[in-house]
Structure 1
Amino acid sequence: MPTDLAAGGPSKPLPRPSILAEGGPSLFDRPDPRPAAGTGGGETGLSADFSNFPYPWYITQVREALWNAWTQRMPTAGALRCTVSFDITRDGSARSVSVSKSSGNRLFDHAARGAAEAAAPFPRLPDDFFEDKLTVHVEFKSTE
């Protein structure tokens, strides 16, 4: 999450992407206690549902990269949300990036998909995570 905003930045909080991975019980579901400077705090937090991925520090790094990319691309298109799915490979590359649940607004969906692509490469998957990829579902939100 950016620590300072350029002069003339938005006057209300920007929505944060939430990260949802497939399977299992929720590892954690809590709001981020660190609001972006000048935004007055955030209204949504990170949701991670992946029973075999006990690395909240990694999810935080992915969220930070997605947040930074999203704040540069988010269109002001009303209260919209869409879900973008992709795989993070062992080397941190994003593969198979696609809109899995459309907002109904092609511009918004394209911006969300572009944010996921621009956020890559992500950090390498942890060495003791034995899968070849991590499938991630990110919900991007916009408010009026």
Structure 2
Amino acid sequence: MRLPNLMDSAGKIVQQSIDEARRRYSQGPRTGVPGVQEDPNFSTEEPTILSDMRGYDFGPYMNQVVNRVRVNWYTLIPEIARLGRKGRVVIIFTITKNGTIDDIRLVANSGTEPLDRAAMGSITASNPFARLPAGFDGDRLVLQFTFLYNIR
């Protein structure tokens, strides 16, 4: 009598999981960025521009910033959040004229360090951003991002 090889079964299960993940991600992103699937339980409130905009329309620039941060955040969301841990993280940071982050501050933590680290990491991983728009005569842009985990 021959017993089934458990390693073969485990390998098939892993391969099925990989295939399922590929299938889900190939259905198309909802973040506006290819290859990144947005999860409805993880969202950011509309970022707030805290600095003087000097009459400049930052809409297109902010879309790029938000998409970049979200892409990085979705890759960093910890397992504890995927298991349902709730949290809200607020971060303020400054983008300089050349697109680098000059200052980043956690102003409201979630009470769960992995959630705070993922939010902070999504911004630091996005550094540098694109240069500030040429039509903007300021030298920096101060933004506030709010990250929501399992909160609607």
TM-score where L is the length of structure 1: 0.70
Separation (CA, whole Å) in 1 of partners of 2:129 and 2:94: 11
Deviations 1:17-71 (A, max 9, x none): 23112168xxxxxxxxxxxxxxxxxxxxxxxxx5744120000000010010100
CA RMSD of aligned residues (A): 2.3
Distance in 2, matches of 1:91 and 1:71, equals: 25
Query: 2:97 & 2:148 partners in 1: Cα distance?
Result: 28
Matching of residues 122-141 of structure 1 within 5 Å? 122-141=129-148
For 1:51 and 1:80, the matched residues in 2 are separated by 34
Q: Distance in 2 between matches of 1:86 and 1:98?
A: 6
- 1:3 pairs with 2:6: no
Gaps of 5+ in 2: 1-30
Which of 81, 87, 93 is the equivalent residue of 1:86? Answer: 93
Identity value in percent: 24
- Within 2, Cα distance between the matches of 1:4 and 1:114? 19
State the number of aligned residues: 115
Gaps of 5+ in 1: 25-49
Q: Which structure: greater helix fraction? A: 2
- Residues 1:15 and 2:31 aligned together: no
Structure richer in strand, relative to its length: 1
Is the 1:82–1:141 Cα contact (8 Å) retained in structure 2? Answer: yes
Structure with higher Rg: it is: 2
